Amino acid sequence: MRNVLAVVWRRLRRRPAPRVFVNLWLAVRWRCIVHPAADIQFPGSCVIARGARVGRCTIICRGGTNHPAVRLGRVVIHDGVILDALEGAIEVGDDTALNPYCVLYGTGGLRIGRDCGIATHTVMVAANHSFERLDLPMMRQPIRAQGIRVGDDVWIGAGCTILDGVEVAAGSIVAAGAVVTQSFPPRSILAGVPARLVRRRSDLGGSVDDPPEAMRG
């Protein structure tokens, strides 16, 4: 009986009420819009700015000792997005959009700035496996977690992967399908696998009205 009660207690802590009531409580508490079918686990560790719109996504706010584990500004989170703080934290700034099926893990800390567009199927993993030892399977070796930072006014194209330890500096563009393994200066245009510097937006002169060649198609 004690084991049964312990399981029930853990379940209640994880999701203290049916999903629709959790989401209604979050919407009222933070004055935002939360889809009734959104799956938000550990909602007490989530902070959402007034006016945010949260679609049918999955947000896991476990976060270890971090509180809040997930902090969302006045964002738009579309259906199918997964935000999992794991033992770290995730922060997303105002006026940023996470498009369908993005997957973001926050083990080493993941911060996305303001006014960013994160296109569909983007993956950001703020951790990596060690692999130096040959006597242990890689999945049993320690996790490295340096964190990921995405500055303000960044455009990340569809299907990009951002790896641990990377800073995508303010004003940068990452072309669709790129794999970013290192940091670059602000206002960089990046493309390729691994991503390389194609050019800098400052070289274009003034504002950018049309997407660069690397972003087309």
From 36-40, 54-58, 137-141, 173-177, the region with the lowest mean pLDDT: 137-141
- pLDDT per residue over 6-23, tens digit each? 665 566 555 567 889 889
- pLDDT per residue over 84-107, tens digit each? 999 999 999 999 999 999 999 999
Cα angle at 54 between 85 and 48, to 5 degrees?
60
Domain range annotation of the chain: 15-153
- Composition of the chain by helix, strand, coil, percent to 5: 20, 30, 55
Other C-beta atoms lying within 10 Å of the C-beta of residue 124: 25
Three-state DSSP state, 191: strand
DSSP state of 184: B
| pLDDT for position 5 | 55
Query: pTM value?
Result: 0.85
Whole-angstrom Cα distance, residue 112 to residue 92? 5
Whole-angstrom Cα distance, residue 185 to residue 197? 9
- CB-CB contact of 83 with 64 (8 Å): no
Identify the residue with better confidence: 215 or 194: 194
- pLDDT per residue over 147-189, tens digit each? 999 999 999 999 999 999 999 999 999 999 999 999 999 999 9
Other C-beta atoms lying within 10 Å of the C-beta of residue 86: 22
CATH class of this structure's domain 15-153: mainly beta
- Overall average pLDDT of the 67-83 stretch: 96
| pLDDT for position 67 | 85
